[in-house]
């Protein structure tokens, strides 16, 4: 029978450095990958892992669940092979290399730039063996452990109860494959046997199967598959699976088991503060509990294959899942790079085929940022064809960047379509989202459309009674999301919406809003300790158990003019009390109650919201005479150097009325007869220096609706010192 031992210790050294002992899973970027500066270490790390002594008569395998980007593995000095791809499971047969004792596995892992995707992206590429390493022993007769990182067994259930088992035994001549299907209570509901062949297929029927019905009723069955000869069992695999059907209608969205089931949910990155990607089951479980609490019923697991354990949690929780590969942001031509996308897609589909929560395979994300091309189009077409051939039961999709035209041929590659839109954050206004959705649906009435990303940054330090785009306040993020929820509520044709992001995550190149190395669009902070006000807005929209939440618990100091109190709720109305004095009762409109100009005494005030059936929520507000200036993001913060000259001298920028400036949108500046040519020349020069010349036209199209100063802020310290000042100095010479 099969035995598995998780290996938890290793000797580790960066190339050229001394060895030290580390715990597995492990990453070498857990700190420098989150501190900003875009300078986290990318190189080779060498691991030496001691393996248990082999059992006589057994075969030994070593399993890696995630090592980023490329892993080269040797056993006792014998090269086993190389795996390209940082997110999938891979194994090697180590039997012929094993000694009686003192067996050492050597793993060279590198996260350097190479032909492996992702090439570039807005998140940190943590290096190391960051998921479990497992030593496996099996009989010579076993289910194939070298079949694309799978367990060698695939379960294909149909909503009618027809269930096909495809098993791939090894050294199984004269054996049988025996299958039992068990319900959630452990009762056998169907069984069958067949002679073992290299590919053994068995079909069973379950009468009136209990359907998996999302978060309402995530009912799971178990398939037990044995490889045996008479009464001797050589290998056993158990697979949890479910019966369900789904489809997407271009006008009415997602349907589960024949009934409308609007998908509203979040996207997730896997990293955690001070841990990077080297997290444990505990962190996975905490993430799932928070996602369940906010009321999501779908998760986009971005931008790579996630841990098998988290897919298990999605099956159990009833989450409808979008799973994808890291074919993201930057396209690289060439056969090696293309083959890597196909290999990662093949592993994603094969390894996750049995997860009933997965309904969508994502083949790419914002891959046209650098522009559309025939090689890219062919690459995407091959990915889609491979995915449909491997798994025709699920739908393919892709996340398009905003700049992709509504009639682009890229819009028609996959079964269904989604776009990442940030109108109201990176450019434009929030209402532009509604206009764009309506126009796309009008132009493409037969194409199912989803929103795969949307969001706004919120840093807990900053607050405002009149929030504005890019002030990084918790209040603007909440306002943005409230408006987006109103937009989605009246457009049932949108087949899914996925908030970007459920959690703040590491993006070491970022320097925004006074916070380095972080994307702060999460509804929950990077350490998972603080739920932002937006979290409770979604909870009010998406959950039914009565709840109230008083916003502004971190916006403590309130001067006159700052004393409106907003309460999010899923109850019909809320009553507000201040210092045990009843302020009034407010009817909820779009899940919010706004109490205007609430009277506060100087000093501390206890503010309590009550609603029938809901647990009271209380915050403390401090009445003050003058506004607290510490709540406002200082000009230029998060852009160290960009507002200074080469000598470090600060300059006050001027913005003469009627003149161009960095306050203007990039598109308007580029169309200006004088400012446009000057700006294009400067941008092209900087792009060439940064090695991004080929991608610049696509990036300019994407950023046309953004203010130039916001683009500069996003670029952070990648721009030369004083660039904002110098650009503005040139632009103000031109009249609008």
Exactly one of 65, 226, 324, 366 is catalytic; name it.
366
Query: How many C-beta atoms surround the C-beta of residue 475 within 10 A?
Result: 23
Angle formed by the axes of helices 335-352 and 374-390, nearest 10°? 20
Helix, strand and coil content of the chain, in percent to the nearest 5, comes to 20, 35, 45
Residue 558's DSSP bridge partners are 623
Nearest to 527 by CA among 287, 209, 248: 287
Phi, psi of 384 (to 5 degrees): -65, -45
Nearest to 618 by CA among 671, 648, 577: 577
Query: How many C-beta atoms surround the C-beta of residue 167 within 10 A?
Result: 27
Distance (Å) of CA 168 to CA 3, 175, 224, 389: 19, 12, 14, 18
DSSP letter assigned to residue 294: H
C-alpha–C-alpha distance, residues 64 and 10, integer Å: 14
Distance (Å) of CA 448 to CA 223, 249, 382: 34, 6, 21
Q: In what order do the strands lie in the sheet with 565-569?
A: 548-550, 565-569, 592-595
Give the CA count within 13 Å in the CB-facing half-sphere of 92: 20
For the chain, give the number of residues.
736
Those residues whose C-beta lies under 8 Å from the C-beta of residue 555, and which sit 6 or more positions away, are: 463, 474, 475, 562, 631
* 721 included as an active-site residue: no
Nearest to 294 by CA among 264, 314, 269, 274: 264
Phi, psi of 389 (to 5 degrees): -70, -40
C-alpha–C-alpha distance, residues 382 and 344, integer Å: 13
The reply to whether omega before 501 is within 30° of 0 (cis) is: yes
Listing DSSP states for 618-681 in one string gives EEEEEE-SS--GGGSPPTTTT-TTTTB-TT--B------TTB--TTSBHHHHHHSTTHHHHHHH
Listing DSSP states for 539-603 in one string gives HHHH--S--EEES-TT--EE-TT---EEEEESSSEEEEEETTEEEEEEE-BTTEEEETT----BE
CB 97 within 8 A of CB 75: yes
Residue 83's DSSP bridge partners are 71
C-alpha–C-alpha distance, residues 214 and 322, integer Å: 14
Phi, psi of 696 (to 5 degrees): -65, -35
CB 7 within 8 A of CB 49: yes
Q: In what order do the strands lie in the sheet with 246-249?
A: 246-249, 253-256, 259-260
Angle formed by the axes of helices 708-715 and 723-731, nearest 10°? 160
Listing DSSP states for 590-609 in one string gives TTEEEETT----BEEEEEEE
**Catalytic positions, please?**
366
């Amino acid at each position: 029978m099969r035995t598995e031992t998780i290996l938890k210790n290793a000797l580790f050294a960066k190339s050229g450095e001394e060895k030290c002992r580390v715990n597995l899973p492990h990453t070498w970027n857990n700190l420098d990958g989150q501190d900003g500066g875009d300078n986290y270490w990318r190189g080779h790390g060498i691991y030496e892992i001691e393996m248990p002594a082999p059992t006589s008569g057994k075969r030994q395998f070593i399993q890696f669940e995630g090592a980023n980007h490329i892993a080269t593995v040797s056993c006792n000095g014998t090269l086993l092979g190389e795996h390209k791809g940082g997110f999938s499971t891979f194994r090697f047969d180590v039997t012929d290399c094993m000694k009686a004792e003192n067996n050492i596995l050597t793993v060279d892992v590198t996260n350097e730039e190479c032909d492996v995707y992702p090439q570039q992206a807005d998140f940190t590429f943590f290096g190391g063996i960051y998921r479990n390493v497992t030593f496996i022993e099996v009989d010579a007769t076993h289910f194939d452990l070298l079949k694309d990182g799978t367990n060698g067994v695939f379960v294909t259930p149909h909503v009618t109860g027809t269930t096909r088992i495809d098993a791939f035994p090894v050294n199984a001549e004269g054996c049988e494959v025996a299958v039992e299907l068990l319900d959630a209570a452990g009762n056998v509901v169907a069984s069958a046997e067949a002679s073992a062949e290299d590919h053994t297929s068995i079909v069973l029927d379950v009468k009136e199967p209990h359907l998996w019905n999302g978060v309402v009723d995530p009912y799971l069955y178990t398939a037990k598959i044995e490889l045996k000869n008479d009464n001797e069992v050589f290998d056993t695999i158990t697979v949890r699976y479910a019966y369900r059907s789904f489809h997407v209608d271009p006008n009415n969205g997602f349907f589960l088991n024949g009934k409308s089931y609007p998908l509203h949910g979040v996207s997730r990155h896997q990293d955690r503060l001070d841990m990077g990607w080297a997290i444990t089951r505990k962190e996975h479980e905490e993430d799932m509990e928070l996602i369940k609490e906010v009321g999501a019923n779908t998760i986009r697991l971005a931008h790579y294959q996630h841990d098998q354990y988290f897919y298990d949690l999605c099956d159990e929780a009833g989450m409808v899942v979008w799973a994808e590969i890291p074919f993201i942001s930057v396209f690289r031509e060439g056969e090696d790079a293309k083959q890597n996308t196909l290999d990662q897609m093949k592993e994603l589909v094969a390894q996750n085929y049995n997860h009933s929560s997965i309904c969508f395979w994502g083949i790419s994300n914002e891959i046209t940022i650098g522009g559309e091309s025939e090689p890219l189009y062919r690459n995407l077409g091959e990915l889609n064809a491979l995915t449909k051939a491997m798994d025709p039961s699920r739908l393919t999709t892709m996340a398009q960047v905003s700049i992709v035209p509504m009639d682009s041929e890229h819009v028609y590659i996959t079964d269904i379509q989604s776009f990442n839109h940030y109108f109201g954050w990176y450019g434009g206004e929030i209402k532009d989202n509604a206009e764009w959705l309506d126009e796309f649906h009008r132009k493409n009435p037969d194409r199912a459309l989803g929103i795969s990303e949307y969001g706004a940054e919120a840093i807990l330090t900053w607050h405002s009674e009149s929030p504005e785009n890019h002030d990084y306040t918790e209040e603007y993020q909440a306002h943005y999301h409230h408006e987006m929820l109103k937009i989605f509520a009246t457009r049932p044709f949108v087949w899914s919406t996925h908030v970007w992001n459920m959690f703040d995550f590491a993006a070491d190149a970022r320097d925004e809003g006074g916070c380095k190395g972080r994307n702060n669009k999460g509804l929950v902070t990077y350490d998972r300790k603080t739920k932002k006000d937006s979290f409770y807005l979604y909870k009010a929209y998406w959950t039914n158990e009565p709840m109230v939440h008083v916003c502004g618990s971190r916006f403590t100091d309130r001067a006159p003019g700052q004393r409106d109190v907003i309460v999010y709720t899923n109850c019909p109305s809320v009553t507000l009390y201040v210092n045990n004095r009843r302020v009034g009762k407010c009817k909820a409109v779009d899940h919010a109650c706004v109490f205007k100009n609430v009277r506060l005494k100087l000093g501390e005030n206890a503010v309590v919201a009550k609603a029938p059936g809901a647990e009271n929520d209380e915050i403390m507000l401090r009445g003050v005479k003058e506004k607290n200036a510490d709540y406002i993001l200082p000009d230029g913060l998060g852009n160290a150097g960009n507002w200074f000259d080469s000598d470090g001298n600060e300059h006050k920028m001027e913005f003469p009325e009627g003149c161009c400036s960095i306050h203007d949108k990039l598109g308007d500046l580029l169309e200006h007869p004088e400012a446009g040519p000057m700006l294009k020349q400067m941008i092209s020069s900087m792009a060439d220096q940064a090695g991004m010349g080929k991608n610049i036209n696509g990036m300019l199209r994407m950023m046309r609706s953004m203010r130039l100063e916001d683009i500069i802020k996003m670029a952070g310290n990648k721009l030369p010192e004083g660039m904002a000042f110098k650009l503005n100095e040139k632009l103000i010479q031109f009249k609008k």
